[in-house]
Structures are given as C-alpha cells and as structure tokens.
A and B are shown apart, each in its own frame.
Chain A
Amino acid sequence: MKDAFGTPQSLLVLGGTSEIGLATARRLVARRARTVWLAGRPSPALEAAAGQLRRLGADVHTVAFDALDSASHEEVLGKVFAEGDIDMVLLAFGLLGDQANDEADPMAAVRVAQTNYTGAVSAGLVCANALQGQGHGSLVVLSSVAGERARRANFIYGSSKAGLDAFTQGLGDALVGTGVHVMIVRPGFVRTKMTEGLQEAPLATTPEAVATAIEAGLRRRAEVVWVPGTLRAVMSALRHVPRPLFRRLPI
C-alpha cells in the first residue's frame, strides 16, 4: 500500500533497463519500496539493474517483457499482478529512433511508433485493469515534451509520444473514482544513453531529477508533472507560436 505521501511499497517498472525507470526505483527503494519487478527483454543489463536494486535492500524480480509483442502483455503482466498488489506501475519503455534515418526507412519509424504507442497502449490497459481490480495504485507514464507539439527535428518520436500522452490523459479520466491514479510525466531533454551524442536542448535535466519530480507528483497525486517545472510555462507559450514561425525556431 502507498503511505500518506503516496510512496509505494511495491513497484513494477515496464522497461526495466530504462535509466529514468531505474533512477525512480532507486529513489523509491530508499523510501519505502520493498518489492520491485523489472520487466524488460532478458539481457545482462536487466540482470545488472536488478542486482543494483537488490544491493539497496529491495526484493527484486525480473520478468521477460517485450513492448512490441502486445499479444503477450496480458499473460506476462497478469502473472506479476497475481503475485500480490502492485502499488505503482512505471511505464518507462520507449525508443527515440533516428529521425533522419527513419524518414527514409518507414519500417524503422513504425518500430518507434509501435514501441512507444501501441506497446504502451496494450501494456497500459492491462495494468489499468489490474490496478482497478485492486482498488488502488498509481500508473505513471513517461511521456515527453516532444509530444506536446510536433517538431521538424523529431516528429516521428514526437508523434508517438503525443499519441501516448493523449491516451494516458483519457485513461486517467476513465479511471477517476476507481482508486487508480494516473500520472503523466513530461520530461524535457534528459541526459541518458538514449540521448547520448545528441545536441543538448535548453532546460536539459537528469534521470535523478525526473525521479524526484515523480516522487513529489505521487505525494500531490498530480495528473501531469513537467520536468523541470519551468517547461510547463515554456511549452504553453511554444504551443501557441504560429507554425511558419515555429518551424523556423532552432529547437
């Protein structure tokens, strides 16, 4: 069960090698979390992540999960929920893709869309149903500021996150009154291996800062969290910029 500050005792991270996911897990393990499920494709990196959390004192399980295999989500995640209540699900998997390459290779672009959107839709719905049965729990979904308004520079990724963001908003509204809390996290540029080598955008942040914002959002039972918080104001201005001007902006 979550405590008065929304801190969970059990956590399921979808995308078990995600740096933001793991930074959040570390932070929550330091507070209350005792049981952590890391769901991801079996790999040495997943086991290493599990080992790291175990050293912090958590009871960590890994589970084979592939975002692209939507048909398996019900069964794979059903097994996790059958083991006991999950107080918080963190939907952290995602693919950035390579915009320039993907524009020329439609199948690569589809892979980005399927991972970030279709995979998240099926996993999100499976988790939402399970949480609803429990009558409590938080579903935290990592969206992105890129989904707030499509940009020339990364609209494939941006559109998939836009879809995910809209889906999550609707899901959150559908779940009002069921005891399930749905929270959208919209980070800006986060310095991780996913963004390694890319040119840093203004207001860049770190996985640890995102984790801190998630913990604070859980306490407030927030519906949307921007990281850093100033992005909320920046994006609300940017989304009203006329398109001829917007496409010329160096962002």
Chain B
Amino acid sequence: MAGGRTSGVTLVYKKQIFMTFRIDTPINHPFRRNRVQLGEKRHFSGYRHAMPDFITALSVDDFASVTGWGRTAPTTALVVRPRTYEEAAAAVRGCGTRGSIARGLGRAYGDAAQNAGGSVLDMTGLDRIRTVDADTGMVVCDAGVSLHRLMEVLLPLGWFVPVTPGTRYVTVGGAIGADIHGKNHHVSGGFARHVRSLQLLTADGQARTVLPGTDLFDATAGGMGLTGVILSATIQLLRVETSLMSVDTERATDLDDLMTRLTETDHLYRYSVAWIDLLAKGAATGRSVLTRGDHAPLDVLPPRAARHPLVFRPGQLPAAPAFVPEGLLGKRSVSLFNELWYRRAPRARTGELQKISTFFHPLDGVPHWNRIYGRGGFVQYQFVVPYGQEEALRRIVMRISRRGCPSFLAVLKRFGRGDSGWLSFPVPGWTLALDIPAGLPRLGVFLDELDEEVAAAGGRLYLAKDSRVRPETLAAMYPQIDRFRSLRAELDPHGVFTSDLSRRLAL
C-alpha cells in the first residue's frame, strides 16, 4: 500500500469504449481507500446490458464496497477485472492471504460473491461466446457471459438456454456455481445438468477441464465458486421454434387448492410456477396465481408474429431511483399490491402468447429493482421441503402469513429429481421463495425459527440466496458438506478461494 498506485478508468457509452484514462493516486494515508467514483453501484449491482444508454464508468483494480443483490452486509475488497484467462490466473496466483472469489453480475442475494479484505474477480470482462454449433445446440462460452447475451445471440438461431432463473442478468459461471434452477426444474433439473464440460482455474493457478461425473464437477456445481474460478463452459441448449411462450394462467383460492392443482397437472407443462400471496389470511391463506406454459410452436403464432418468430426484444422501464425511503414496502402497500395482482389475474386462461421477458423475467424490466427496499436492503428466504412434508410447508406458510411479512412476489414451485452437486440446492419437493425487508423488527429470530422447521422436515436453504443462516443449521441441511470441505482442504489447502459466505458458514 505504500507509495503510489495506478488505476485506470474506462468510460463506456452504448457498450462502446470511447475513452480510457489512467489516474495516479498517491496513497500514503493509512485509511485512504481508493473508491470507485462514477457509477460505482451500476458497476457492482447492475450490468451495462441492463442499463439504458447512459455512461457507465468501469474501474480496474480498485478497492470498492461490495454487497449482494439484497444490499446487506457490505464489505470492502480489491476488485480485479480480468479480461483474459491469463489475467485471471495471475490474479488468483497473486491474491494474497485473504484469498479471492469470482463474481459475476452480483445477483446472489447474500455474501456469496464478496471477500472482505481480499480480492474479488469481476468476471464480466470475460464475455466472449467462443463457438456455437447451430445444428446440435452446443455453445462454448466464457464464464462472464450473461444469459441475456446468450439469448440475444442464440434465439435468432432457434436455441434457448436450458435453464433460466427469474433474471437473465446472471453469468454462466454464476449459474454453475449456484447450480441455478428455473421454472422447468421438474422437467430439466438444474443448470449444471446441461453443462457438458467446464474449464476451472484452481488454487494452483492452473486451468483444468472438468467433466460431469467427477468429484470436482459435483463440488463445483453449486459450490459457490469455492473450488475455483470457472473460466468457460460447454452447454447443451434447448431447441425452440419461436421466441414466444404459450402460457396458461389460473387462480388457486388457497394453499390446499394450489398444491392439488400443482400436483395433478404440473407434469403437463415444461415451465410452472405459482405466485403466492403470503399476506392473505384466514380462508384465503396461500391464494395464488399459477402461470405455466411452454415455448410456443410456430403454428400457433398469428401471421404477423410468424414473420419474425425468433425475434428477442425485451422491454425496459426506467431504473428504480437510487434513493428510496425506507419502509416504502410496508404491510399495507404490499397487501394492496398483492390484492391487485391476484384480482388482475384471470380465473383461467389458456394459450396466451407472452414474450420470454414477460414470462420469465418480469423484474428485469426495472433495472435496479432491488433499490426499492431502501438503504437497509432485504433478505431473500428460499427453502425446499421434500414431498411428504406438506404439513411443514403449510405450517411455515401460516407462520409467515400470521407474522405479516410484507413480501410481494413470493413464489412456490415443485422441484423434480435433484442433481449430483454436493451443495446443489434442489431436491424433490416444494420450494418457496420470498423477499423480506431486512429492517423488519426481530426478523432474524423469526427466520431462525423457520430454519428449525425446515431442517426438521429434512429440507434445506439455498446458499445463493442466504445471508443469515447459522453454520450448524446449514451443516444439518447438506449431508455432503463434509465431503465438500475435505475436497476443498485437499485442492486448496491455503484457502485461496474464500468468500464472506465461506467465512460465515465455515465452508
């Protein structure tokens, strides 16, 4: 830290670099930490693809305050943005005693892609799609490529990503690291199931090819970046005829009705999810709107749309303002929203054509939607309980409803068969995900109680969303955790790959 250090700033406008300049910053004050000045938040919690056309500043190798999407528990790290595999390897080799962790688009809600006092590798600079086989639907791309970018490039060729979560702004590396799931989990499993091979930069600074079926693959899929830095991956895509979705919508009047409908007819759809009103009380507890569908075949498109069946044109609204007063999402405003959302949905409608962005990624329409929770941020709570534990699910829903957690857009889904990742989240069962403002009084204690309930039912929490579970509770939820720890102890004895999450949970 003594003496001067050089940092560079690149100004980007409409995705074109138009100016680069370097700044010499003498650092001789012990408390002086160079901060990213322009567009800091845009850089760390957003992505320039998600941005309307204004200037964003990207800074190279600078200390910055980093949080997850929930904007809780900020810590400071040296953010390094490698542009080549060699730069990534050099960054890992020279990361220092507090280690390094890869970060994509920062959509993990908690502290998975933070590394206090160490370095964070911003992987979005590794953003090349290397090869696309338009006949077999096999793509080789860098880890920093976003699913949004893959859709832009691949949809016109008639291919779609095998699994997409509720946002397109996740990177391929993050998708494997968290073994993300989507509305098609009951049919297609997690993202890692569709990965044919990947390049992993391990603690020794070497890149190795990792194939499915090996221990290293199973530790890496869902391993939250703690086995190494994913550099690139080969992914099997899904063939589609059009870029539209054919969607069936129906309402369920309460939780039992919802669970019956999902159990009986889920297998008829490739994609299925239920939005659930967790503030509804009494007989209406668990009332929901089910939206299920599949990619529309070419022959159902009206003539006008059929002329350009594979066009990908997601809409975009203005970004959420940077400063939102705390408590905007209170119980009253959220109940009102939920009431409207429920009533707006048709009782039953079939075959509606929707854009991919409308069906899968409604929140991506508002860049920085996470700001609406204000400065205090929010926590996302997602758990799964196995089939046969419907009583536990019912109890948890009742408790959340009684507690009056102002949660809008809570979703319930049925998972299919799980995958082989040791820390991969999905197991066959019911999964519920909800957002809660972090400032809610005594929320920590309440969620600890729910954890107990989930663990007792043989369920588990999702690491990509967690920012608060107790280490011992998590260990009870993931039976393979010791295997994961011992593989890490062997592969990375000095703890080169370390994140705030791994420190908090002793992973």
Tell whether, in the assembled complex, residue B75 and residue A179 are in contact, meaning their CB atoms are under 8 Å apart.
yes
**Across-interface contacts of B33 in A (CB, < 8 A):** 132, 177-178
The docked-state distance in angstroms from the alpha carbon of A180 to that of B439 is 20
Q: Which of A1-9, A16-24, A65-73, A227-235 contacts B (4 or more CB under 8 A)?
A: A1-9
What is the CB-to-nearest-CB distance from A7 to chain B, in angstroms, rounded to a whole number?
6
**Across-interface contacts of B118 in A (CB, < 8 A):** 135
Tell whether, in the assembled complex, residue B470 and residue A32 are in contact, meaning their CB atoms are under 8 Å apart.
yes
Considering only residues 69-125 of chain B, those with a C-beta below 8 Å from chain A are 70, 72-77, 98, 110-111, 115-118
Whether A219 is near chain B, meaning CB under 8 Å from some CB there, is yes
Interface of A is mostly: loop
**Across-interface contacts of A128 in B (CB, < 8 A):** 31
Whether B170 is near chain A, meaning CB under 8 Å from some CB there, is no
0 or 1 for each of A88-106: is its CB under 8 Å from B? (1 = yes): 0000000000000000000
What is the CB-to-nearest-CB distance from B287 to chain A, in angstroms, rounded to a whole number?
29
Given A4-B70, A4-B73, A220-B376, are A177 and B116 also a contact pair (CB < 8 Å)?
no
What is the CB-to-nearest-CB distance from A105 to chain B, in angstroms, rounded to a whole number?
38
Whether A134 is near chain B, meaning CB under 8 Å from some CB there, is yes
**Across-interface contacts of B468 in A (CB, < 8 A):** 3-5
- How many CB-defined contacts (below 8 Å) exist between A and B? 82
Whether B63 is near chain A, meaning CB under 8 Å from some CB there, is yes
Considering only residues 104-146 of chain A, those with a C-beta below 8 Å from chain B are 128-129, 132-136
Given A136-B76, A136-B500, A177-B35, are A4 and B467 also a contact pair (CB < 8 Å)?
yes
The docked-state distance in angstroms from the alpha carbon of A3 to that of B448 is 12
Chain B CB within 10 Å, residue with most, of A5, A128, A178: A5
Residue among B35, B116, B377, B439 making CB contact with A134, cutoff 8 Å: B116
0 or 1 for each of A155-177: is its CB under 8 Å from B? (1 = yes): 00000000000000000001101
Contact-size category for A:
20 to 34
Tell whether, in the assembled complex, residue B504 and residue A9 are in contact, meaning their CB atoms are under 8 Å apart.
yes
Chain A's closest residue to B77 (CB) is A135
Tell whether, in the assembled complex, residue B117 and residue A179 are in contact, meaning their CB atoms are under 8 Å apart.
yes
Tell whether, in the assembled complex, residue A4 and residue B438 are in contact, meaning their CB atoms are under 8 Å apart.
yes
Tell whether, in the assembled complex, residue A5 and residue B116 are in contact, meaning their CB atoms are under 8 Å apart.
no
Whether B4 is near chain A, meaning CB under 8 Å from some CB there, is no
Tell whether, in the assembled complex, residue A179 and residue B65 are in contact, meaning their CB atoms are under 8 Å apart.
yes
The docked-state distance in angstroms from the alpha carbon of A5 to that of B111 is 12
Whether A79 is near chain B, meaning CB under 8 Å from some CB there, is no
Tell whether, in the assembled complex, residue A220 and residue B76 are in contact, meaning their CB atoms are under 8 Å apart.
no
Tell whether, in the assembled complex, residue A174 and residue B31 are in contact, meaning their CB atoms are under 8 Å apart.
yes
Tell whether, in the assembled complex, residue B72 and residue A177 are in contact, meaning their CB atoms are under 8 Å apart.
no
Tell whether, in the assembled complex, residue A133 and residue B73 are in contact, meaning their CB atoms are under 8 Å apart.
no
Whether B443 is near chain A, meaning CB under 8 Å from some CB there, is yes
Considering only residues 1-47 of chain A, those with a C-beta below 8 Å from chain B are 1-7, 9, 31-32
Give the B-binding residues of A (Cβ under 8 A).
Answer: 1-7, 9, 31-32, 85, 128-129, 132-136, 174-175, 177-180, 219-220
Other A-B pairs beyond A129-B30, A177-B63, A179-B74, 18, CB < 8 Å: A1-B111, A1-B503, A1-B504, A3-B444, A4-B70, A6-B73, A134-B98, A134-B117, A135-B76, A135-B98, A135-B118, A136-B73, A136-B75, A177-B65, A178-B76, A179-B65, A179-B117, A219-B376
| 7 tightest Cβ-Cβ pairs between the two chains A and B | A135-B117, A179-B76, A135-B116, A136-B116, A4-B467, A1-B504, A4-B72
